[in-house]
Structure 1
Amino acid sequence: MLFRVAARCIILRDGKILVQLSKKGDFYRLPGGRIRPDETIVQGLQREVHEELGIEKIENMRLIFIVDSFYKRRSGLVHEVGFYFLCDVGDAEIKPREEHLRIEWIEPEQLDSKNFRPSALAPHLRRIREVLENGLPAQYIINVDVGGQD
């Protein structure tokens, strides 16, 4: 089993959430990615968001979700712990810097577990306004996407 740590940004503008389409175009996810062994979660998140979207600085980061995921890849089973932060990027221009990346702004209510990864996070993101309004502490979510299990 492969173990990974990841960090991703929840970026909201005009009530919509920024999502990226996967390389194959079969699902959406939030901007960010794997953390390297020699960097903190925050350093890794800032690096990933800069590499992917050209955003120079993230401010007022707030941890919203921790997702403990288990999923299959061609190389086998992966256990990934993901840290999902609400990120303030101000009025920074957001555009993909990597050829394979496509981004979209969508209403949180439109997120569907069938085409969003990790799938267990989609229903929580659909309620993101409620989570933010109530000032809830970070929520822990377990996600299992291995061969037909929920």
Structure 2
Amino acid sequence: MLFRVTARCIIMRDGFILVQLSKKGDFYRLPGGRVRPEETVLQGLQRELREELGIFDIGEAKLAFIVESFYRRRSGIVHEIGFYFLCNLGNTEIKPREEHLRFRWVKPDELDADNFRPSALAQYLRKLNINGDIHPQYIINVDVGRS
């Protein structure tokens, strides 16, 4: 079993949420990625957004969700702890910096368990109130039947 820690950012503008399309193009996820062993979660998030989107300042990132996921890969089951932060970037330009990365703005109600990972988070993103107080929520996500 592999264990991973990830940090991802919820970026919303004008009622749309920024999502990254998987390499195969079969699902979306939020921008961000794995946290390296020598990094804090926020340092990992900052590095990932700088590398992927050219964003150097994530401002005041508010922890919105902690998602504990179990999913299957070719190498076996992965146990992942994901930290999901609401990031207010204002009008910061968002421009993919890596050729293989594809991003898209979608309405939150377009996200569901079939097209988003972790699948359990989709329903929470559809109901997210970015104008209210954010109280971090803990979510368990089990996708062991998916690859």
* Partner secondary structure for residue 88 of structure 1: coil
Structure 2's unaligned 5+ residue stretches are none
Unaligned runs of 5+ residues in structure 1 are: none
Give the Cα–Cα distance (whole angstroms) in 2 for the partners of residues 60 and 74 of structure 1: 37
2:60 partner letter: N
| One-letter amino acid of the counterpart of residue 136, structure 2 | A
Percent same amino acid among aligned pairs?
A: 69
**Shift of residue 60, structure 1, vs aligned partner:** 1.3
Aligned partner of 2:83 in structure 1 is 83
Structure 1 SS opposite 2:71 = strand
2:133 paired residue among 128, 132, 135: 135
Q: Which amino acid in structure 2 is aligned with residue 119 of structure 1?
A: S
Distance (whole Å) between structure 2 residues aligned to residue 23 and residue 52 of structure 1: 14
What is the match of residue 145 of structure 1? 143
Per the normalisation by structure 2, the TM-score is 0.96
1:90 Cα deviation from its structure 2 partner: 2.2
CA contact under 8 A between 2:63 and 2:134: conserved in structure 1?
no
Separation (CA, whole Å) in 2 of partners of 1:11 and 1:36: 22
Residues paired across the two proteins, number: 146
| Distance across 1 between alignment mates of 2:142 and 2:70 | 5
- 1:110 aligned partner, one-letter code: E
Q: Distance in 2 between matches of 1:24 and 1:99?
A: 14
- Assess if the C-alpha contact under 8 Å between 2:58 and 2:88 holds in 1: yes
- SS of the aligned residue for 1:72 comes to strand
Structure 1 residue 135, shift from structure 2 partner: 1.8
Aligned-pair CA distance for 1:137: 1.1
Tell me which stretches of 4 or more aligned residues in structure 1 moved more than 6 Å: none
Q: For 1:25 and 1:142, how far apart are their aligned partners in 2? A: 24
Tell me the residue number matched to 1:17: 17
Deviation at 1:134, TM superposition (A): 4.2
Q: TM-score, normalised by structure 1?
A: 0.94
